[in-house]
A and B are shown apart, each in its own frame.
Chain A
Amino acid sequence: MELKKIPLIVAITGKGGVGKTIVTTLIAKAISTSYNYKILLIDADPTHPHLSKMVKLVPEISLEKIRANLIDKTISKKEDFQSLAEEIDFKVYNALKESKSFSLFSIGQPEGPGCFCPSNALLRKVIESISRDFEIVLIDCEAGLEQINRMVIKSVDYVIIVTDISLRSVETANSISQSAKKFTNYRKIGVIINRVKGDIAKITDKLKEYNLTVITSIPEDEILTEFDLEGKPIIDIPDKSTSYQIIKDNIHRILE
């Protein structure tokens, strides 16, 4: 399958607790087993940075730590601006945790107060440059897209909003789609309904009302629940898992 754009940048977002990190992991696993693409994962949820653990790739240093060091070195004049500019790309590249299937950056939690605007712009420039070494970039974001737009990447091709079957999370999906329009020039937007149980007509009607297309629905999955309860890395989930199969069967809809 030929990608329309390289790198294809996909942001996965949704209300807290709907399972967006699990969905990101399943998407990453499905792409890596079905296609020969270089995949970059970005764990961009500073409050719940679980993606790294779910794919078993925990970076030694977060991007927030690099930012804090940069600000410290800049204001203390420990290094001249030229040297800092020359080494920042190397430093960010070294924060990448790699495996044969994926590479991963972790944004991490903010390290105290500081000047965020130009340092965000700087990190974003470096991440955008490094992402050109990959064909697919999957970003696991917190609910709003403002933060990834500022710090991670300026443009997103596909926004995937994960929702469960609660009305509140569907309403959050709507507000996320509104903010996505404002903060990114996405090409496509779609919804994955997670943990589906019983009749979800009300949910799909509401999504239709909000003009949001459903990519697929994932039913409650015993294997996944067991993995989650035991804290096992979701990347190791067996192929027979229903949720994984559904994502795998629909992966072409994400990539086209």
Chain B
Amino acid sequence: MEPKTAIEKIREFLEKEQDTGKILFTYESTNNQINSHVDNKIKIGLNGFKEIILEEETGLELGGMNKKSFSVVIPIEQIKLINHGRISLLGIEVNRIEEPKIDFGIILLIGINKNTTENEDELRQLNFISNGIEGFSIRTIPRRFWCRISSSALQKGFSFEILGNAIVQLYKQKFPDLVKSVEVIFINSYPSSIDQFIVLSSEILAEVREKWKKKIEEWRKRIDCDYDWGCEVCPYQEECYDVKQVLVSREEIKN
């Protein structure tokens, strides 16, 4: 799917969801506003907060086991299509959340400059933001999202607005030449919206998946085997076949 069409589809999706009565917040930030959040509430800085947030210190978990979640990063060369600094939240703000764990999805639209040595593929590894936000820690799970926000960060007023601003700022800091603009979209509270977006994202990322499919097929043939692929003498032939299916399914989710 063309990046332009992908963005149109995402915006259309958000509008439709809003039309059905779901809450859509939009925050617009300038660089100055981003800094004011840094001064007043949660501290932000590239590699400044390498925290392990233990279970007992966790105030809120976004995504995680038995919760719906996704993360999608879409780099786009047409910078003008992206509203730099805009943070959209389909759902509710942190201070109104009552459960300790919630469904959560994150979409990052990133306007890029191709004329740089910085690697575009690295944009998809968003776990680096984990080390840049006070009281926030990501646990990497392919294509899903799982993070912990500490109780003390919640007390200081951690919000999705702050998280969105931090993401914009950290991406610009880490990739100063490659990243020109960043727009952030969060979805929480609406499991059906998350399901629908997962379907939409697999359409958007169909080309990327196609590219990986060939790699996975190649890699599948290279799994080490104690029996040197002498399947006729292997006592575990059936379970080998089954476990291999799980392995391949995981690779497909990942890519």
Contact = CB atoms under 8 A, between A and B. Distances in A.
A88 B224 contact: no
Contacts of A47: none
Contacts of A150: 224
Contacts of B144: 89
Interface in A90-104: 90-91, 93-94, 98-100, 103
A90 B65 contact: yes
Nearest to A117: B225
A252 interface: no
A90 B52 contact: no
Contact of A84 (B127, B139, B246, B251): B246
Contacts of A82: 249
A237 to B, nearest CB: 22
Contact of B139 (A88, A115, A121, A133): A133
B253 A86 contact: yes
B59 interface: no
A74 B246 contact: yes
A85 B249 contact: yes
B224 A120 contact: yes
B199 interface: no
Contacts of B247: 85, 118, 121-122, 125
Interface stretch (B7-15, B97-105, B185-193, B235-243): B235-243
Interface residue tally of chain A, by bracket? 35 or more
Contacts of A36: 50
Contact of B125 (A37, A98, A132): A132
Interface in A105-134: 114-122, 125-126, 129-130, 132-133
Interface in B218-248: 223-227, 236, 238-240, 242-247
Contact of A74 (B50, B55, B140, B239): B239
B16 interface: no
B64 interface: yes
A10 to B, nearest CB: 18
B138 A133 contact: yes
A94 B66 CA distance: 13
B223 A121 contact: yes
B250 interface: yes
A86 to B, nearest CB: 6
B66 to A, nearest CB: 8
Contacts of B206: none
Given A86-B253, A93-B141, A74 B54 contact: no
A75 interface: yes
Question: Residue among B247, B251, B254 with the most chain A CB within 10 A?
Answer: B247
A122 B226 CA distance: 15
Contact of A89 (B138, B141, B226, B239): B141
B3 interface: no
A76 B118 CA distance: 47
Given A116-B236, A121-B223, A133-B140, 7 more contacts: A85-B249, A98-B52, A98-B55, A117-B223, A117-B225, A118-B244, A129-B140
Interface of A: 36-38, 70-71, 74-75, 81-82, 84-91, 93-94, 98-100, 103, 114-122, 125-126, 129-130, 132-133, 135, 150
7 contacts: A38-B50, A38-B52, A117-B227, A121-B224, A125-B247, A125-B250, A129-B141
